[in-house]
Amino acid sequence: MDRTLTLIKPSGHKVAELVFSYDEARWANVAIKEFRQLYDDDDPSDDSKSVYESYQHDDKLPYQPLDSIEKIRAFDQQYVQQKLGRDLPLPLASYRFEYAADPVLLRYVLTTPRAVVGMVDIRFSFSDNTKQVAFRSAKHPRFDMDLTLTALEPNYGALSQLTIYDDPVLFGCDVEKLEPWY
């Protein structure tokens, strides 16, 4: 369910970018960047869609399992209306909601106080509804594991499915998330 949503005005100017991250069992983190136009002309034929970042904030919302891309899109529209609606000069239906099409690579390092347990690479594309999970054990390659999931599976759920000898890998580990690779 991780995704990057870009809100675009009918003129083609970027209004906001929302990055949804599901790295915790019960919560989702949303990083919101709002943008303002450099020039106030809404000329769609103008090739320069210059914007600047005007405000950045984070939000935390309770995890809600959604079982289809359409439900997620409807949820996102409702969320944008709730969080940014008062700042939008046009009706919400006139804005374009675009999701990043390129795959994103997230890397997690799993450690205990005494050792590194391993690394997990999660490569996903919300637009293609795909998620590839690769666990690389720090103990031995025989513990390596690969999973193929849909983009609807939250990252915490994907990490929870990893096991060594039927024991969850995530249990007792500290999880450090590295910067996304686009």
Q: Specify whether 92 is located in the same domain as 169.
A: no
Q: Which of 63, 84, 99 is the last residue of a domain?
A: 99
Exposure string (b/e) for 122-149, b if CB count within 10 Å is 16 or more? Answer: bebbbeeeebbbebebeeeeebebeeeb
Which domain covers residue 138, as residue numbers?
104-177
Cβ pair 108, 117 in contact under 8 A: no
Smallest CA-to-CA distance from 36 within 80, 89, 78 is with: 89
Provide the number of structural domains found in the chain: 2
Same domain flag for 64 and 113: no
Q: Is residue 167 part of a domain?
A: yes
Whole-number pLDDT of residue 96:
95
Q: Does some domain include residue 182?
A: no
pTM: 0.87
In a domain, 76, yes or no: yes
Q: Is residue 92 part of a domain?
A: yes
Same domain assignment for residues 94 and 108 = no
Give Rg (Cα) of the chain: 19
CA angle 58/62/64 to nearest 5° reads 125
Task: Identify the CA nearest to 2 among candidates 144, 104, 90, 121.
Answer: 104
Q: What is the pLDDT of residue 92?
A: 92
Query: Do 59 and 140 share a domain, yes or no?
Result: no
What pLDDT score was predicted for residue 45? 66
Q: Are 76 and 120 contained in the same domain?
A: no
Do residues 132 and 85 both lie within one domain?
A: no
Q: For residues 9 and 82, state if they share a domain.
A: yes
pLDDT averaged over 10-residue windows placed end to end, the chain, 182 residues: 92 93 92 88 70 93 91 96 89 94 94 95 94 96 95 93 91 92 82
Do 81 and 114 belong to one domain? no
Tell me which of 99, 128, 162 is where a domain ends. 99
